[in-house]
Chain A
Amino acid sequence: MVLARIGIFATLLLSFASSAMAKDFPVGFFGPLSGPAAAYGSESLAGAQLALEEINAGYLGSDKIKLIPADDTASPGVAAQAVQRMIDIDDVVAVVGGSTSAGTAAAIEVTKEAKVPQLSPLAVDSALTLANNPWFARIAQSSTTWAERTAEWLKKDKGAKSAYLLVRNDNFGIPLADAFEKRAKEIGLELKGKIAYEPTSREFRPTLATVASAKPDYIVLWGYYTEAGLMAKQMAEMQIKFPFYVGSAIGIDQYREIAGPSAEGTYGLLYYLAGSIETDAGKKFVQKWNERYHRTPTQYEGMGYDAMYVLADAMKRAAAKGGISKQTIRDEIFNTKAFQGATGPITILSNGDAQRPLPMAELVDGKVKLDTLLK
């Protein structure tokens, strides 16, 4: 009887001790939750929040992550201020974000100064990892990789001999086009021409007429989904028929709405395509998302989900090695090797870039279908 009481008392004492040791780790999240780029931020946040539910249900033992979201409105200045506030007031141990390259670039300066690890789910600009900033990593492929893989896919998978480049004349389109052009030359894919259009343009008929006269095997666009939609629509109106590559626009509903029936048959490269990852984690994520929201997850939701998991996995390994701190989280993020994420295996390279699969997709019967999973 006495022994039993001692046993119960000891058990209670241990549980009190462990709950006293359990910690809530504040983690910041920033991205555009309003404004013209709201889809990127709000969808990746939705994915991160689902991951967080699972993580806080025991993935980190008794420890939990407390997420502190902030809206950067796709403005670099607002992004930097939001991250500074998270660090100064909330004392975050890590930051997940941003969703645009410009916002991410502004926040990097703040996290680097404060020595807080930052992990971006979506930013692709190659310049972000050129400086070898030890506090920044991302799970998205760099723009150089996107462009190079596209050129290789055209040449090797599709047997294309030539392409015509249409480029949004800004710091999104130009680096992608440059990387594509460089790789195309290396592998012998002929460029029939290149036109850089103004980001405010809505009338592409003269441009498309010029492209049509060059008779390329493929038209490759490095631009936004609105321009992609208008180009596809105007090509159909002008009865111009060439295979059309539109980048990640293919996964955005508004692209299909603007282009209408002419979106059919277009190609694009996505961050992630639900159903293209045949691992347990990939299947489980899609199933859970379907159960909750009665639809498949978008590419941004998948990336947000995995960004949170890559961070939690780094924290778990840091805890096992002696303790969670900003420094150990950073070290373990950079030690991420073949993490089995919902969007595929993710490896973080020494410069902070990610190695992961890229799904090349085609629009068939109004649905985004996997063409090839580019390794």
Chain B
Amino acid sequence: MNLSLQLLSGLAVGCIYSLVAVGFSMVYRAMGLVNFAQGDLMMVGAFVGYSIIISAPALPFWLVVPFAAALTASLGYVIAQSALWPAIQRGASQTYLVLLTLGIGIVLSNGARLIWGANPRVYPIPLTHETIRVGQYPVPAVYPLIGLTMVVLIVGLHLLFTRTWLGLALRAAADDAQTASIMGVNRRFASAASFALASGIGAAAGVLYAPITFVSADMGMLGIKAFAAAVLGSLGSIPGSVIGGLVIGIGETLGGQLVSSEYQDSLAFLLMIGILLVKPTGLMGKRG
């Protein structure tokens, strides 16, 4: 089978990893914690997208993405305000916070099972089973949409953080919380807004990933690979997360094709270990 086809698949899946990894990095920068519920927020977003499609079948798919992202971002905001910020304020240790996000992830996963049921859900849209031709290769029709969304979101984030008061406030709070708060930036709001933004981006990834496979309550497991991507690119770096996701996505697909398809999942992590051994700070990390 032609490697170009595998490369396209790797790129598409890599984009999904990248988007979830961006969420990891954003929360890490803003709140100083690793949010292990990020994968489950992606899963919730995918289920929310499913409900939107069922409720409004006439709605174009490209509009489902922002709607699901907005609703999941609201959930993220509530989680940050009601669970994470109080714990941070009480001086919870990193270990406690990691366990807290793991617990939130489990609650989200079981909650989704209660609301949407245990059976996998398939997006009932033509896009789920449509293919298009890229050059001489047949690829799922959702691939270009994934690539386009990825570019739009990254450009949008860049503009948000460099051109808007909200973005500058979020960056300031992430870089130097004390000074930012003296300058009038509400730390609690900034942290919750970052968490909400990360949840929304994760949800967009979930909605885009759903037509490739299906939606299920254990979909959050993908978060493990996205976390690896974020670490590979340097946790906290948004460009690094994007590169890390693409490296993991392409690495596992090409590795599965060229080395062994039985160990394609392991190969992605082996690649991560190899790169981190050479560059312990990650691809975009700086020494010191």
Contacts and interface: CB of A to CB of B under 8 A. Distances in A.
* A, B assembled together: yes
A209 interface: yes
Interface in B66-121: 113, 118-120
Contact of A258 (B120, B140, B253): B120
B264 A203 contact: yes
Given A209-B257, A230-B213, A233-B129, A239 B9 contact: no
A162 interface: no
Contact of B214 (A197, A205, A239, A258): A258
Contacts of B118: 34-38
A206 interface: yes
Interface string A32-43: 001111110000
Interface in B105-155: 113, 118-120, 122, 128-129, 131, 138-140
A254 interface: yes
Contacts of B213: 202, 230, 258
A226 interface: yes
A110 to B, nearest CB: 26
Interface string A188-204: 00000001111011110
Contact of B1 (A200, A203, A212, A258): A212
B261 A206 contact: yes
Contacts of A195: 261-262
Contacts of A202: 213
B214 A229 contact: yes
Contacts of B9: 203, 205
A280 interface: no
Contacts of A238: 1, 5, 138
A260 interface: yes
A62 interface: no
Nearest to A194: B262
B252 interface: yes
Contact of A209 (B1, B129, B216): B1
Contacts of A159: none
A171 interface: no
A15 interface: no
Interface residues of B, number: 32
Interface string B21-60: 0000000000000000000000000000000000000000
Contacts of A35: 113, 118
Interface in B256-288: 256-257, 261-262, 264-265
B131 A237 contact: yes
Nearest to B141: A237
B13 interface: yes
Interface residues of A, number: 37
A260 B214 contact: no
Contacts of A229: 214
A19 interface: no
B129 A260 contact: yes
Interface string A246-266: 000000001001101110000
A206 B253 contact: yes
B6 interface: yes
A373 B49 CA distance: 42
A198 B266 CA distance: 10
B138 A258 contact: no
A229 B256 CA distance: 20
A237 to B, nearest CB: 5
A296 to B, nearest CB: 19
A262 B257 CA distance: 23
B265 A198 contact: yes
A210 B261 contact: yes
B120 A226 contact: yes
A213 B217 CA distance: 34
Contacts of B183: none
Contacts of B159: none
B221 interface: yes
Contact of B262 (A196, A212, A239, A258): A196
B251 to A, nearest CB: 11
A42 to B, nearest CB: 10
A140 to B, nearest CB: 22
A11 interface: no
Contacts of A237: 131, 138-140
Interface in B228-268: 252-257, 261-262, 264-265
Nearest to A198: B265
A131 B280 CA distance: 53
Contacts of B255: 206
A207 interface: yes
A329 to B, nearest CB: 33
B129 A203 contact: no
A203 B122 contact: no
17 contacts: A36-B119, A36-B218, A39-B119, A195-B261, A200-B265, A206-B261, A207-B256, A209-B1, A209-B261, A226-B120, A230-B213, A236-B131, A237-B131, A240-B1, A258-B120, A260-B122, A262-B129
